Each structure stands twice: as structure tokens, then as C-alpha cells.
Chain A
């Protein structure tokens, strides 16, 4: 379970940091309106929202590292899974990225969020299974030496 906690933390870093450097605003691109004003594109807002998934995931990972109780680990794994789902939804459904596949946000940021989210979801599901196997009651054990 400690390994899953570390995994969550690493994924949180990827989910939170990579979008900051791969959205179009970071590349100096924006939508130019008539009149000369520029507004950021959708990928900018996706990058802004990514830390909202990443930071809780980082905390969840840290808590998993130190927790031992079955119920706590189960809940943290579930929360991690949900955060993984949100990481996938951010660039695909909730906000989105630019449509053109020449844009870095499309070829780098979006796949990073989807991949990171999918792996987080998978790790969370594994955590749920492992947490379920921890015996409770008189013989409550440490959640493995991992």
C-alpha cells in the first residue's frame, strides 16, 4: 500500500506539473479577438484546473503512506480512483484542449492527463482490492511491508 501511495504522489506531480508547460498559453499562443485583445484558449483553463486534481492526489498518496487501518486505506484508494477519473475528464469532457493536432496541448498535455488519470484509476482499484484483504479486529495487521 505504501507503494501505491508513492505511485499516487508521482502521478500527482505529472498531472499537476506537465500541463503547466504544455498548454498553449505557455507556448505564447492565444486567441486574438478583433480589436487586438487576446484571450486564453481552453487548454489554458485545463492546465489551471489540473492542480485541483493533482494536489488532493498528492495528499491522498501521502496519507496512504502512513495509514494502516483497512477502512482508511480503502477510502483513500477510492478517493484516488475518483481523482484519476477527473484527470481523464478534464481534457476530454469538462474543459478540453485545442482541436488541432499540431498544438502541444493536444499531443502532449491531453495524453499526459488521460494516461496519468488512467494509471491513477488503475492503482486506486488495486488499492481497493488490497485494502479489502487486510484483516481487521484482533488480528489487525500492518498493511504489508511494502
Chain B
């Protein structure tokens, strides 16, 4: 019989109270972990999306910045056009190392069930592209041919089909990218040539033809010369080229970041409220338990237990309940967040990807620590009070 074993027996002997404390610990751990996972998951998602875009600056038509960001982040397709001549003008700007045009297209809404409708199509120029091509070389060891596409993580070929049918034109899904938790997971990357072929076929076979304006582009991806200041380059483009908006990569998704900040504040507030109420409830439960066990604890003192031992037993009970509840809360939270990830994205309107394992482990430990600290803090005062009470008074009840 050790102190811990005695604490375990005491926990088992007071099941209702133990259950209440365990439930509080579970909620605290779950809330803390959920907060961390959503906030870090959203940040993680944004970072991956920015890495995926691969450009230092994205030049879009004036006034289209928000729509383009929303399309890339949440997969809500948009179409915006500017003259193709913008490409050369951007390429000529100071300190620009490389440029590559992209066309932003959308699939037909609700074209057929059980496939991804409202898909965002990003057509790139394989001759100048520096975003997709390196990834392709690494993944499939080659380039996309006519009629081939690469998809985001959520794109799939419908069961029984050999390819994806877009505007009546069949494309072969050559590869899928790693998930980002953003709208890029529901995007298709294809060459401009394939897009134009699709537009041609769509005039005959699609319910509604795909229209690609002549001599127009949706965006120009810009790589800045190494060592140069992208902000200066963007300012230069803004000043010298009219009708366009340059978006700096680090500045991307500002409105979404603001939403995330608001969400973070809300979630953190909810966590704080949960913590405060939990401390009060657990403190009350432990006070009640300590009062009911005054005589029992007085007996322990009479048998030779020191004040410190009694204090340690009570804190050990609290600690064990915190750990059990914390672990259960962490397990349930991870399961729920992983399973309901897409619902979280759809409901909260934020990008979200489950954080990578090291970060996840840190968040789990953080949640457990939160749970442990809260429960121990709540139990400390009643435990101290009861362990230092005169044993003869404690036994007088």
C-alpha cells in the first residue's frame, strides 16, 4: 500500500465526486486542446497554402484581391480578368526574377452528384511556371500532358469512372497534392492548353460552355530576385501598372487572419470561462469531500500520518483525477477534431488542418498541463485546510 495506491482507492470509494472532477478535467483538457488545434491548425493551413502558392507576389485585377484570396483559401471559385499584356509589364518591373500567368476558372455548380462541384480550376503556363512544375517533377517525375490534371487532396475520381468529367471533357487525375486544409484541397491544376481544349469541347458537349476571354489572364505569379525587398517590388508594380493589385505573400489572407483573430479571442474567452467555472466547481467538490472526510483524515493523523502526508494524499487524488480526465479529454478531442474536420471548416469558415505530430504532441501536453494545474489549484486550499486541522476537532463530528 503506497500513497498513490491509497489515493486510487479513495478515488474509487467516492465515485460520484470523482466523476464530477474527472468530467471537469476532461472538459478543461478538451477545451484547451480544441482551442490550440483550431488556432494552430488554421495557422498551419494558411502557411501551407502560402507555401503551395509559391510566389512572392500575386498580381491580380484591381478590386479582385479579396475574391481571389477567398477562392484560394476557401475554394469558392472566382473569375477575374486582366489583359495578358500585364504579364510582360510585370516581368519588366525592377527586381522581378520570374513571372508566370494563371487563369482562374470554375466548374459548373451541381453538374452531377457525388463529384466535387464548384471546383476551382487553376490553369498555368508550363513554360514559365515555377509553382507547380517543381512539385510535378518531384512527384511524378515529369510534366502534365494535354488532358491531365493534378488535384488537391479532396479531389477524387468518381467510382466507376476513369477520369473526371469537366464541361463534357474528360481529364485524367495524374496526382494529388498533400492537404492544406484550404480551398486548394478542392482545386485542380491544369495547363492553359488543357483549359483551352476543355473550352473548345465544352461548346459542343457541356450544359454550359466554358468561356475563356481572349488575351486575358486572372493572375500573374511573381518571383522576386533573391535579396531584394518584395514590398518595394510590389509598390513599384502598383505605381507603374494601372488596373492591378499586387498581393504580397506574407500579407495574403489578411481578412481571414482578422477573422481568425476574432475567433481566437472568442475561443480563448470560452476557455477562460471554462477554467474559472471549473476551478470553482472543483474547489467546491473538494471542499465538500474534505468536509465529509474530516473524521477519516483525523484518523489517519491519529495513526501517524503527518500533515504533509494527508496533504499529499488529497493532492494525489486531485492529480490522478486530472490526469485520467485530461487523457480522456485529449483522446476524445483529437478523435472529434480529426473526424469532424470538414464540418469545422464548413461551419467556422476558416481553413483548418490538423497540426503536425510534434505540434500536436505539444498541444496535448499543454491541454494536460492545463487540466492538471486547474484541478490541483482548486484542490489545494481545501487540502491544506483539512490537513492542518486539529485532528481531535476533525474527529469530533
Contacts and interface: CB of A to CB of B under 8 A. Distances in A.
A98 B114 contact: yes
Interface in B91-118: 113-118
Interface string A99-137: 111110011101100110011000000000000000000
A41 B159 CA distance: 13
A111 B343 contact: yes
A144 interface: yes
Contact of A144 (B15, B115, B156, B343): B15
A144 B339 CA distance: 34
A31 interface: yes
Contact of B19 (A29, A103, A108, A146): A146
Interface string A62-84: 00000000000000000000000
Contacts, number: 53
B43 interface: no
Nearest to A42: B114
A115 B340 contact: yes
Interface size class of A (residues with CB under 8 A): 20 to 34
Nearest to A108: B343
Contacts of B156: 99
Nearest to B23: A3
Nearest to B332: A119
Contacts of B342: 101, 106-107
Of B19, B156, B342, the most chain A CB neighbours within 10 A belong to B342
B154 interface: yes
Interface in A23-42: 29, 31-32, 41
B276 interface: no
Contact of A101 (B154, B158, B332, B339): B154
B336 interface: yes
Interface in B328-362: 332, 335-336, 339-340, 342-343, 346
B336 A115 contact: yes
A19 B298 CA distance: 55
A119 B328 CA distance: 10
Interface size class of B (residues with CB under 8 A): 20 to 34
A32 B113 CA distance: 9
Contacts of B343: 107-108, 111
A100 B340 CA distance: 15
A89 to B, nearest CB: 15
A119 B30 CA distance: 15
A100 B116 contact: yes
Contacts of A41: 113-114
Nearest to A122: B331
A118 B346 contact: no
B346 A107 contact: yes
B322 to A, nearest CB: 18
A111 B131 CA distance: 34
A13 to B, nearest CB: 17
Contacts of A118: 335
Given A99-B159, A107-B346, A114 B16 contact: no
Contacts of A144: 15
A110 B340 CA distance: 9
28 contacts: A3-B15, A29-B113, A31-B113, A31-B114, A32-B113, A41-B114, A98-B114, A100-B114, A100-B115, A100-B116, A101-B116, A101-B154, A101-B342, A102-B116, A102-B118, A106-B342, A107-B340, A107-B342, A107-B343, A108-B340, A108-B343, A114-B339, A115-B335, A115-B339, A115-B340, A119-B332, A144-B15, A146-B15
Please provide the 4 A-B residue pairs with the shortest distance between their CB atoms, ordered closest to farther.
A111-B339, A146-B15, A107-B342, A107-B343
Interface of A: 3, 29, 31-32, 41, 98-103, 106-108, 110-111, 114-115, 118-119, 144-146
Given A29-B113, A101-B154, A145-B15, 17 more contacts: A3-B19, A31-B114, A98-B113, A98-B114, A99-B114, A99-B156, A99-B158, A100-B113, A101-B116, A103-B114, A106-B342, A108-B340, A111-B340, A114-B339, A115-B340, A119-B332, A145-B16
